[in-house]
Amino acid sequence: MQFLIHALDSTKEGTLERRMSVRPKHLEHVAGYRENGHVIGAGGILNDNGDMIGSFLIMEFDSRAELDEYIAGEPYVVNGVWEDVRVESVNVVIRDGQKVR
């Protein structure tokens, strides 16, 4: 199953600074899932000034429960960076420039 995670950061003061301090842990966490083939794509959501205000990930897991386990351990969740996390099931049809479905 493939999922789109749309996660917006908290609007509380100091969140951008907290995001940047937690970012190395977040990237390390995501890297482990990428190495296991779970990450299809990922990046930051930017405001009009180019500041990061959230994240998006397209991930693949055998079940929603496995995705929920990822989210529960995500450093941005654990450290209160992400405030609004939305998940949708998706069907990726182009991956690495190639049609896959």
CATH number assigned to the domain comprising residue 23: 3.30.70.1060
The total number of structural domains that make up the chain: 1
Please state, in angstroms and rounded to a whole number, the distance separating the CA atoms of residues 101 and 91. Answer: 8
Residue 66 scores a pLDDT above 80: yes
- Residue 28's pLDDT band (boundaries 50, 70, 90)? very high
Residue 101 scores a pLDDT above 80: no
Q: Strand, helix or coil at 17?
A: helix
Averaged pLDDT for residues 86-93: 96
Dihedral sign (CA 18, 22, 27, 29): negative
Closest to 44 measured CA to CA, from 68, 27, 59: 27
Q: Which domain holds residue 34?
A: 2-99
- Residue 64's pLDDT band (boundaries 50, 70, 90)? very high
Dihedral sign (CA 84, 85, 88, 90): positive
pTM for this structure? 0.89
